[in-house]
Structure 1
Amino acid sequence: MTTLQLLFDEYWPHLALLLSIAVGSTAAVHAAMTKSDVRAAIAWVGVIIMSPLLGPLAYLIAGINRIRHDHISDQRNRSLRQYTLGTPLAPIDVARLAAPQFVSLRTLSNRISRFALRDGNHVQILRSGDEAYPAMIAAIDGAQRTIALQTYIFDNDSQGKLFVEALARAHRRGVEIRVLIDAIGVRYSRPPNITWALRRNNIPYALFMTNPLGMRMPYANLRSHRKILVVDGRVGFTGGMNIREHFVSNVAGDKVGSDTHFRIEGPVVVQLMAVFAHDWEFTTKETLAFDRWVAHDWDPPTPHVAARCIHSGPDRYVASTHSLLLGAFAVAQHHIRIQSPYFLPDQVLLGAINTAARRGVLVDIVIPGQNNLRLVNYAMTAQLDQVVRAGCRVWRAAGNFNHSKLTTIDGAWSLIGSSNFDPRSLRLNFELDMEIYSRRLARQIEDLIDLEISHSELVTLESLAAIPFRKRLRNRIIWLASPYL
């Protein structure tokens, strides 16, 4: 044996200790210096210290934000401003459209979103796959120039195949198509996944955040949860719906799930297209020509609403939706309605909700009685006492799982889109939401939430205390890991 081998055999425990100290110290310093949330910093430093080698590895995989803050060039930013803002716009009178207290909220959203609040939009509510999927496929079949489709889950099932067939028909007509699917979401489907069908029909597609720099795992915790369909730059669809047959009654039968999606016409569609173009360029390096992909005039049906897109993600827009919700709860005067499948707000957002309730604002929170994510349901249940004790009304809906993500304030302002009230949506995922100033639309969304409340069970402190201790302990243990669910 060589001298080097002898030394290694004798001193390898010391070398391993030195290596673990060096790697652990580097990872702990990085977490302490880069995490803006003190709880996240403490949690990661604890994991790193308590598990000297596995902890730094876990941090390397899931804890480091590798998304560039300069996703696009200055020239690209100028193009986005040209097509989303155009000439300077006169301030929209949100006091007339919604209520006086929303003037300050408009100021806040002006500062957190790069998009302008635009009037002249028509928004139509689509309930679950029975309404949303036929409307989306009809728009695809009517496409003349372009189709941009982005989704988190695109199942290779009966409904996914209908979408592929419609896209294939459009492709044969000469329509230019781009399809962007999240690299994690695409794996929800049983093999073969939908990319096989897209490739067979020569439909251009890409997977968001897949295999960058030859590595997969370091990016597995960052996902695009956005749902966008833009046809000819003129008609858009967004909301909370993925593409899967679970939301179609004649396929899923008694187990059909519920969700809410939206069909949109008007200048805010340009903002939807801008978000898609940004993500497509980030993924593929291809710049889409806005002259072709965006409409320049609109004549949407009445009534009109004022709206803007709020996009968020683990980049420069990490706190956009979170900040907007804080502002919305602060200006609320009468009634807050929240419907979310995953209600796990952080302590700051919890504080804003509870403060509104203590001010006398009626707060209704609707969550599913049956949840598709068991661990999230356990963590949600462990935290409900904090809002119930503050005076909020929490409702567990009966019936099948409802995936809708809806918020209204004072019957005049609404937030729709892909974001859940949980750490993943508000910190890790790339999300897309839309704020809307309209009494009419807010009332329509309130009707949907109130309908859900009408067949829900009120959660009380007594009902929470009646849960067996072993289950409450289990829920609290899962709740401790809620930032990572």
Structure 2
Amino acid sequence: MNDLTLALHLLVRDYWHIIILVLSLVVGASAAIHAAMTKNDVRAAISWVGVIIMSPLLGPVLYLIAGINRVRRKHLLESRDQNFKDHTHYPEAPVSDVSELVGPQFRSLHILGDRVSRFQLRNGNHIQVLAGGDMAYPAMLEAINQAQHTIALQSYIFDNDPMGKKFVHALAEAHDRGVEIRVLIDAIGVKYSHPPIHGLLRRKGIRCALFMTNPLGMRMPYANLRSHRKILIIDGYRAFTGGMNIRAGFSSEFSQGKPAHDTHFMVEGPAVVQLVSSFAYDWQFTTGEMLSYQQWCADSWNPPKPWVPLRCIRSGPDRFIASTHHMLQGAFAVAQRHIRIQSPYFLPDQTLMGALNTAARRGIQVDILIPGQNNLKLVNYAMMAQLDQVLQAGCRVWLSSGAFDHSKLITIDGAWSYVGSSNMDPRSLRLNFELDIEVYCRSTARQIENLIDAQIEEATAISREDLAAQPFRKRLRNRIIWLFSPYL
């Protein structure tokens, strides 16, 4: 052992506690400064700085793993890459004025959408509401069976159960016909069943990838960021999107005639290009493969009438962060008569809560439908702790009866609809990659309103008195869990 090595050994042996203290102070101060300088939400900044200060060693490690938005950075870098092709070519002009279709108050919402989404509002689309798995799954499987060129499928959950195997069988047959197929599943969602289904897909020769599997060089899912998008695109011409995962529990065939509920949508027309673009972006982000417009998008569209204007709204912890948040704020502000909301996980932040409460105080009827039976107990407890904040402003809250309903539906004044994968909770609004569509069509809004109103007729109204009548231990439990709602 040379003199320098010996000196270092003695230094560490005699002063290790001081070295650790100094190191922890330097690392903790660096992490706290980074959090203060990069977090736009003051609550998030305060929370992370507090965690780091209270735990100078563990806090920076937690911040390094869960606090730094590397996904947003990577997406931002990719958006500057000239080799990345975003499929936004259209032969048709965008919709210039929605006033005649849905009313002048929606003109400002149209402008907001233009500034929030890189996609333009397009007419010439046909949209069909698919109420429940018994409508959605057969239509999706039939479309897969009819595919001639390409199939793109993205889902948060794709269970390895009887329904999932039906989809794998249909995809395998399409693959054998020579159809190009890409399947993208979230790395967390794929673990809802065992063994996970991507192994079966790969054995069938189907190209499949898992979203967010390799952060920081470690083979582990980055659980706090998830792809919650649900997309199926056939030949670049017909698409399905909405809130529905692929699970046997949403089909009467595999749930003893008592399926959980959800709502999905079939879209035909130029807006399908926007869905292809969203999928292609996520696929390249995950695998590095760039999908070509010529192969994955249809050359023309001739969907059945009626035609409606719609567009996709992407949101997530990247350059599209807060897109849905902005759209909902704008929608609640332009409402003149009625706001209907159906969400399985209703945990809006204070900004959206304020927008809803302001609408109610303006005299707008606000109806919020949530499940009477929720599949996530902790989320349900947190919801119960927060409902009094909308009830006191005059909003009406309804607990649905019957099976759990996973639908995410919003309508404004029977004219504008916002549907898709986003829940009204912190995870969907800040952490998940989500995909929704806004539809300017009175007929579509009426169909969605009818679905919500039919459940409200059988639902139970909840009041502030009902919440106050709960035993103290339950109210305390709910409030404690509510504190952790951003992480549920």
**Would the TM-score normalized by the shorter structure come out above 0.5?**
yes
Q: Which residue pairs with 2:130 in the alignment?
A: 126
Structure 1 position 152, deviation (Å):
0.5
Q: Distance in 1 between matches of 2:14 and 2:381?
A: 49
* SS class of match (1:123): strand
Q: Which residue pairs with 1:115 in the alignment?
A: 119
1:470 is matched by which residue type in structure 2? R
Structure 1 position 10, deviation (Å):
3.3
TM-score (norm 2): 0.96
* SS class of match (1:355): helix
Q: Runs of 5+ in structure 2 lacking a partner?
A: none
Residue 70 (structure 1) aligned with residue 57 (structure 2): no
Pick which of 475-484 and 388-397 moved more: 475-484
Residue 371 (structure 1) aligned with residue 378 (structure 2): no
Output the aligned Cα RMSD. Answer: 1.6
Structure 1 position 24, deviation (Å):
1.2
Q: Distance in 2 between matches of 1:138 and 1:328?
A: 35
Q: Which residue pairs with 2:47 in the alignment?
A: 43
Where does 1:304-383 land on structure 2 (aligned, <5 Å)? 304-383=307-386
Residue 211 (structure 1) aligned with residue 218 (structure 2): no
Going from structure 1 to structure 2, the CA distance change for 1:19 and 1:348 (only over 3 Å counts) comes to same
Structure 1 position 73, deviation (Å):
4.6
* SS class of match (1:414): strand
Question: Can you list the C-alpha shifts for 1:251-297, whole angstroms capped at 9, x where unaligned?
Answer: 11265210000111111111000100111111111111111110121
Structure 1 position 445, deviation (Å):
0.1
* SS class of match (1:101): helix
Preserved CA contact (<8 Å) 2:94 2:120: no
Q: Distance in 2 between matches of 1:147 and 1:91?
A: 28
Match of 1:236 among 239, 248, 251: 239
Q: Which residue pairs with 2:25 in the alignment?
A: 21
Structure 1 position 418, deviation (Å):
0.3
Question: Can you list the C-alpha shifts for 1:189-242, whole angstroms capped at 9, x where unaligned?
Answer: 12x210111011000011111114522458331111000000000000000011
Structure 1 position 99, deviation (Å):
1.6
2:467 is matched by which residue type in structure 1? L
Structure 1 position 13, deviation (Å):
2.2
1:71 is matched by which residue type in structure 2? E
Question: Can you list the C-alpha shifts for 1:417-471, whole angstroms capped at 9, x where unaligned?
Answer: 0000011101111100000000000000000111111111111010000111111
Q: Distance in 2 between matches of 1:236 and 1:316?
A: 24
Question: Can you list the C-alpha shifts for 1:280-329, whole angstroms capped at 9, x where unaligned?
Answer: 11111111111111012111111111000000110111011100000000
Q: Which residue pairs with 1:452 in the alignment?
A: 455
Q: Distance in 2 between matches of 1:145 and 1:4?
A: 67
2:395 is matched by which residue type in structure 1? C
Question: Can you list the C-alpha shifts for 1:335-372, whole angstroms capped at 9, x where unaligned?
Answer: 00000001111111111111111100000001111111
Where does 1:29-428 land on structure 2 (aligned, <5 Å)? 29-67=33-71, 68=74, 69-76=76-83, 79-80=85-86, 83-86=87-90, 89=93, 91-190=95-194, 192-212=195-215, 214-216=217-219, 219-253=222-256, 255-428=258-431
Structure 1 position 74, deviation (Å):
4.8
Preserved CA contact (<8 Å) 1:72 1:278: no
2:443 is matched by which residue type in structure 1? R
1:266 is matched by which residue type in structure 2? G
Match of 1:471 among 467, 471, 474: 474
2:77 is matched by which residue type in structure 1? D
Preserved CA contact (<8 Å) 1:354 1:390: yes
Q: Runs of 5+ in structure 1 lacking a partner?
A: none
Residue 481 (structure 1) aligned with residue 484 (structure 2): yes
Q: Distance in 1 between matches of 2:184 and 2:365?
A: 40
* SS class of match (1:458): strand
Matched residue pairs, number? 481
1:64 is matched by which residue type in structure 2? I
Structure 1 position 375, deviation (Å):
1.1
